[in-house]
Structure formats: C-alpha cells, structure tokens
C-alpha cells in the first residue's frame, strides 16, 4: 500500500461532494478522468487508504484523549486525597494549637498560684538577714508582698498544705511587726532618754522645757512616720498590725507622759502659788496653760500618726 501523509485542515467539509473533491485533490487526481473499472478500483483503494489514515489519526487522538481523561481522573482522585489529608491535618493542627494554648494558660495559672508559695523562702531569707533594716528600700515592698501572700492563701483554704503555709507566712509577719515595733519603740525611748539627760532634775519649770520636748520629738517624727503609716493602713485588715499599732500608741503616750508629767506638775504648782488668793486668775491661767499644752500635743501627735487612737478618749 502507498504511504500517505495526511494534512488535517481546520475547515469542515460541507457535503459529500466536497469530501470527494478534496480527497481527489490530495491524491493528485482532480484533473484525471476515470474511464475504466481498473481506474475506479485504483481510485477506491487510494481513497480507502486516505480515509484509513484519517481513521488512524482519529483513533490516535481518541486514545490520547482517553489517556488524558484517565490522567485527569487520577489527578482528581489524588487532589481529593491530598485535599482530604490536608483538611484533616489542618483540623489536627488547629486542635493541637488549641490544646497548646490551653496548656500554656494552665501552666501560667499554676505558675501564678505557685508564685505566692515560692515567695515564702525569699521573704523568710530577707527577714533573717542580719543586714536587714526597716528603713531599707526593700522592706516596705517586702511587707506588701507578704500581705498579698497571706491574703491569697487565706482566700484558698482548699489548697493542699494551706494551714502549714498560712502559719509560716504569719510567722514572717510577726517577725516583720517585731522589727517595726522594736525600731519605733527604741527611737521614742532613746529620744526621751536624751531629753531627760539634758535636765538631771527631770522637773523642768520653764517654757523652754516644753519647747525643747516638742521640737525634738517633731524633728524625730519623719524617722518613724513612714513605718507607722504602713501599719495604720493595714491595721483594719489584719489583727497583727492593729496589735503593733496599739503598742506603738502606748509607747508614744508613755514617753510623752514621762517627759511632760513633771513639767506640767511643776507649772501647775507654780501657777497655784502665784494665784493662791485669786481663784479666777488661777483658773484662767491654768486653762490657758492646758489648752496650749493640748494644742501642741495634738499637733505633735499628727506628726507621728495619721489616725486617732481610742487611748486619747
């Protein structure tokens, strides 16, 4: 058979006659006349070969199309498989991220709760340090932290070892209160002792003595006022603070009485001797003197304390 090279055109024949004409043109027989049966057979053979070439090309194209469809179907299945796996992986990742976030929150919550218990060792170490001073910058913040720890543990009695830790923190609080009380009481007592040494008789009889007692105490007030104010602010929340505040009040009043008692007695005796025959003058002088003393003592009290005390009632 004759090998044919078939060129496909994009135009679609409109009729059978067009197909035959184009077929004869492709075979180079458009100008030949068919007069014998042999010519008809030859032309038919050539046309059959020509059409067979078309059929082979169509079959090849069809095979390519079927193969492409199979590849597309395979790709679609692979895409669906990958898409499903990706969706599953995405959901798993989201679940893991959610669990991670929950675990982080849980860890932070646990750490936040443990931070109060972990402060016990730090506070205890500071309170037992021989270099600790109530006037140091870290003392009041440590006191505030101690209060926070006690308040937190007291509000969670369901925690394990709740009584043990609460007792230990209370012991730390008592140590801190002892330091504040000792420093304040010693300051007041030392000041009184110094003033008493200035007058060996301990019975001053002039206005200079009252002025001296007032000025010296007022100058010493800033040394203890900050600590006393810290105790006053917490006195309504914890009984330990109220107890220390009461003891400081009592110490302050005792020291003032120790200083002023002899001077007041001496002044009253002097006024009595000066006005022993004029009772009205004695009352006026005595009242004026007591008002002056009370005003000075009221002002001096406010230099040390910010809240009143029942001991003055």
Mean pLDDT, rounded, for 248-264: 90
Q: For residue 63, is it within any domain?
A: yes
Confidence of residue 33 (pLDDT cuts 50, 70, 90): low
Q: Are residues 181 and 278 in the same domain?
A: yes
Q: Are residues 63 and 180 in the same domain?
A: no
Q: Among 87, 103, 131, give the residue marking a domain's end.
A: 87
Q: Among 66, 87, 108, give the residue marking a domain's end.
A: 87
Q: For residue 275, is it within any domain?
A: yes
* Residues 120 and 149: beta-carbon distance below 8 Å: yes
Cα separation, 254 vs 185, whole angstroms: 11
How many structural domains comprise the chain? 2
Joined tokens for residue 116: 């109060």
Q: Among 31, 54, 87, give the residue marking a domain's end.
A: 87
Could you read off the pLDDT of 53-90 as tens digits, one per residue? 888 889 899 999 999 999 999 999 999 999 999 999 99
Q: For residue 293, is it within any domain?
A: yes
pLDDT at 10 over 60: no
Q: For residue 289, is it within any domain?
A: yes
Confidence of residue 8 (pLDDT cuts 50, 70, 90): very low
Q: For residue 35, is it within any domain?
A: yes
Residue 77 or 34, more confident: 77
pLDDT the model gives residue 219: 93
Could you read off the pLDDT of 214-232 as tens digits, one per residue? 888 999 999 999 999 999 9
Kindly state the percentage of the chain with pLDDT values over 90.
52
Q: Are residues 197 and 299 in the same domain?
A: yes
Closest CA relative to residue 9, chosen from 1, 205, 19: 19
Joined tokens for residue 229: 């104010």
Q: For residue 163, is it within any domain?
A: no
Q: Are residues 70 and 179 in the same domain?
A: no
Mean pLDDT, rounded, for 192-220: 74
Angle at 60 between CA 55 and CA 63, to 5 degrees: 125
Q: What is the largest CA-CA distance in the chain?
A: 183
Q: For residue 151, is it within any domain?
A: no
Q: Are residues 182 and 77 in the same domain?
A: no
Joined tokens for residue 313: 């009632």
Q: Are residues 60 and 184 in the same domain?
A: no
Domain ranges, residue 56: 16-87
* Residues 159 and 117: beta-carbon distance below 8 Å: no
pLDDT the model gives residue 69: 93
* Residue that has been written with the tokens 């932290």 in this structure: 145
Phi-psi label, residue 199: left if phi above 0, alpha if psi -120 to 50, beta otherwise: beta
Give Cβ neighbours of residue 248 (< 8 Å, ≥ 6 apart): 181, 184, 185, 228, 231
pLDDT the model gives residue 75: 93
CA distances from 260 to 147, 191, 202, 203, 217 (A): 38, 13, 10, 9, 12
Q: For residue 162, is it within any domain?
A: no
pLDDT at 6 over 60: no
Confidence of residue 174 (pLDDT cuts 50, 70, 90): very high
């Amino acid at each position: 058979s004759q090998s044919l090279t078939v060129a496909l055109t994009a135009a679609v024949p409109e009729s059978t006659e067009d197909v035959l004409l184009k077929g004869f043109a492709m075979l180079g027989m458009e100008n030949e006349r068919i007069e014998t049966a042999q010519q008809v057979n030859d032309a038919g053979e050539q046309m059959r070969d020509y059409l067979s070439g078309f059929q082979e090309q169509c079959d090849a194209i069809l095979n390519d199309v079927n193969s492409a469809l199979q590849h597309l179907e395979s790709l679609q299945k692979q895409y669906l498989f990958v898409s499903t796996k990706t969706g599953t992986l995405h959901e798993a990742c989201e679940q893991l991220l959610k669990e991670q976030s929950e675990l982080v929150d849980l860890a932070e919550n646990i750490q936040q709760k443990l931070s109060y218990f972990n402060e016990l060792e730090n506070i205890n170490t500071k309170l037992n340090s021989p270099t600790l001073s109530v006037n140091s910058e870290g003392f009041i913040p440590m006191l505030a932290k101690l209060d926070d720890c006690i308040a937190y543990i007291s509000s969670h009695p369901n925690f394990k070892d709740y009584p043990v830790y609460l007792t230990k923190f209370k012991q730390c609080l008592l140590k801190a209160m002892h330091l504040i009380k000792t420093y304040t009481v010693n300051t007041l007592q030392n000041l009184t002792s110094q003033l008493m040494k200035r007058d060996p008789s301990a019975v001053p009889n002039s206005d200079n003595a009252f002025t001296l007692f007032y000025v010296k105490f007022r100058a010493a007030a800033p040394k203890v006022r900050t600590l006393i104010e810290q105790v006053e602010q917490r006195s309504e929340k914890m009984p330990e603070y109220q107890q220390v505040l009461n003891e400081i009040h009592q110490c302050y009043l005792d020291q003032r009485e120790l200083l002023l008692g002899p001077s007041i007695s001496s002044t009253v005796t002097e006024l009595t001797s000066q006005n022993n025959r004029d009772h009205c003058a004695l009352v006026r002088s005595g009242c004026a003197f007591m008002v002056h003393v009370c005003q000075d003592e009221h002002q001096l009290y406010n230099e040390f304390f910010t809240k009143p005390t029942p001991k003055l009632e």
